[in-house]
Amino acid sequence: MSVKFHDVHSCKELFEIAQLKLEHLYIHFGLHDLYPDHYTTPTSPLEFLKYAKEELHAGDCSRILTNVINQSNRSIDSSIDEVLGCLNIDTKIKLTQTSIEQLHKKYSNGRHSNDFSLKLKLISCILNAPTILVDNARKFRHLVEHNYQKPEKVKVYTAVETAQFLNLFIDSKTNSVHQIDITDVKLFGQACNQSSNKRTGLTFYWEALDDKTKYYLKFTRKNEDIVDVYTYEFKNSEKLLLMLLRACFFDAHDIQNTKKTIQDIISELTNENFNVVKYIVVATEI
């Protein structure tokens, strides 16, 4: 059996090639064991956190508490930069900035986040990260450094706990990331009958090549003698890519949010009516 590889120019083109039955769509989430953890900051988030806690053991005068605030925020900043570095998303690119703002407008939880930095808006939308806590820690550092306020001890401890919580949160998220397969009842049934673990529809996945993460949407069609593999490579600034990443990092306890994201993704791919029949996580319907 021969295999032919085809590059396509857009996600919509690939969706049309797949010809999925829109009234009987299945969404399959399989665990992705290849989180691209190839990027680390020169000083790690945990190292900065260690510095902050060592300072606390030295006393509680204003100078020490100010240093603790700074080290805690450096831990926070390096945690965020490591995630975005691993995902290969550059917030300095204009097209990426536009996509982030569009994503934030669609999924933000209120006006309180409008003055977030682009990086905070992004991890809020993709990871559902505790960005209000992070933003409060940053604003407190600004007041101490630029408005010359004396650091309040309880807010200093809150900043340390925020840095620690963010690190644990990101570690948990990146260890439970999912691969997404948009398929239909017919293709999914064929895979089940063949006891195949291979995805059958449009599969979203990534590869870390030369320390740069690249993202793909793939569809495989099997005929009698030929296997056709159609692949679209995302630009890392695309809004649809950010939406798919949001779905990959979903929370099991907030499945309604995930379903809405999937609905939005499919709406981006087709102008026709569609119906998602089942959402399946590994082998469990949700």
Provide mean pLDDT across the span 59-78. 93
Kind plus residue range of the DSSP H or E element containing 285: strand 284-285
Burial of 148 (0-12, 13-18, 19+ CB in 10 A): exposed
In whole angstroms, give the CA distance from residue 19 to residue 42.
Answer: 47
**pLDDT (tens digit, 9 = 90+) per residue, 210-263?**
778 999 999 998 887 889 999 999 999 999 999 999 999 987 777 888 899 999
pLDDT in tens, 158-215: 999 999 999 999 999 988 888 899 998 877 776 666 555 555 689 999 988 777 899 9
Q: Are 233 and 7 a contacting pair, CB within 8 Å? A: yes
The residue whose two tokens read 């695309």 is: 238
Predicted local confidence at residue 250, as pLDDT:
83
Half-sphere exposure of 281 (CA within 13 A, CB side): 14
Would you say residue 15 has pLDDT above 70? Answer: yes
Q: How far is CA 247 from CA 73, 100, 158, 229, 231, in A?
A: 28, 15, 30, 24, 20
3 state SS for 201-225: CEEEEEEEECCEEEEEEEEEEECCC
Rg (CA), the chain: 22
Q: Which of 218, 236, 238 is nearest to 228 (CA)?
A: 218
User: Could you give the CA distance from residue 267 to residue 270 in angstroms, rounded to a whole number?
Assistant: 5
For the entire predicted model, the pTM comes to: 0.90
Neighbour-count burial of 240, counting CB atoms closer than 10 A to its CB (0-12 exposed, 13-18 middle, 19+ buried) = buried
Kindly state the average pLDDT of the residues 38-50.
93
pLDDT band at 41 (very low <50, low <70, confident <90, very high): very high
Strand duo 226-233 + 2-7: pairing = parallel
d(CA 44, CA 77): 10
* Contact status, residue 125 vs residue 141, Cβ threshold 8 Å: no
Pairing of strands 25-31, 178-184: antiparallel
